[in-house]
Amino acid sequence: MKVGKGNLYDDLRRQILTMELDPDQDLDEVILSERYGLSRTPVRDVFRRLAGEGYLDIKENKGARVAPMNHATLRNFFLVAPMIYAAVGRLAVQNFKADQLEELARCQERFRAASEDADVTAMVLENNRFHEIIGEMSGNVYLRPSLNRLLIDHARIGNTFYRPQSKEMTLRLRQSVEHHDGFISAIAARDEQTVVDLVFDHWELSRDTMEMYIAPQAMQADALVDGPTSLLVEKIS
């Protein structure tokens, strides 16, 4: 069994990003203390750290819960995400360091391998890390917290993107991998405009799929013809 504050932090973060923990789900401080062999003080320290990063909400006398995804948060997400991603991309081109570019390339290879293995959890986490690294490249203390908060909901909403259920979604996933390669090449070439263009292409690629997750298509009009509607017709007749 894994123990320690670091492991608790890593596990909770992973479970939130991969939707193993649902939005708004309460966290039991006592159970986590026992499971990780910790007193309640370090558990609360982890909660506060995750709350500061946007993963949890902490309410006085109510404990900690996973950050919600409601109408207001989703509306704001779709409203500002492209602007934040584009600004971060521009600054990444201007400020990146060689070791960061190498780390980005390693992350991309892990993402590519996960996509080939259809490993959904690994894809979610490696994609999240890929864009975190670009945020680190930007070197901007104001934009990075906003980016990281966006990435939490991007990962949670986008989990369905990594479970292709059609040829079209499989193609989109392949294009996502190619976009990552493009980001690396454009950043390395300090090609700011190409990075920004890729940001919007990449956003459009995933946006439709994320919207499907939030608002699935309606059932066919005749889907219940043999169900409750037909029973109601029988009662009326």
CA distance 81 to 66: 21
CA distance 154 to 205: 13
For 95-140, write each residue's pLDDT tens digit: 999 999 999 999 999 999 999 998 989 999 999 999 999 999 999 9
Residues carrying CATH 1.10.10.10, the chain: 5-66
Structurally, what CATH architecture does the domain formed by 71-214 represent? Up-down Bundle (1.20)
Q: In DSSP terms, which residues pair with 58 in a beta bridge?
A: 64
Answer whether residue 31 shows pLDDT above 60: yes
Q: In DSSP terms, which residues pair with 57 in a beta bridge?
A: 65
Q: What is the mean pLDDT of residues 203-214?
A: 72
Asked if 54 contacts 91 with a C-beta cutoff of 8 angstroms, the reply is no
Per-residue confidence at 209, pLDDT binned at 50, 70, 90? Answer: low
89 token code pair = 């991309």
CA distance 203 to 175: 12
Among residues 154, 150, 209, 206, the alpha carbon closest in space to that of 179 is found at 206
51 token code pair = 């709350």
CA distance 46 to 40: 10
234 token code pair = 């029988």
Residue 155: phi and psi, rounded to 5, are -65, -45
Element holding 113 (H helix, E strand)? helix 98-116
Residues carrying CATH 1.20.120.530, the chain: 71-214
CA separation (Å) from 43 to 1, 2, 47? Answer: 16, 14, 6
Per-residue confidence at 232, pLDDT binned at 50, 70, 90? Answer: very low
For 52-95, write each residue's pLDDT tens digit: 999 999 988 788 999 998 888 888 888 999 999 999 999 999 99
Structurally, what CATH architecture does the domain formed by 5-66 represent? Orthogonal Bundle (1.10)
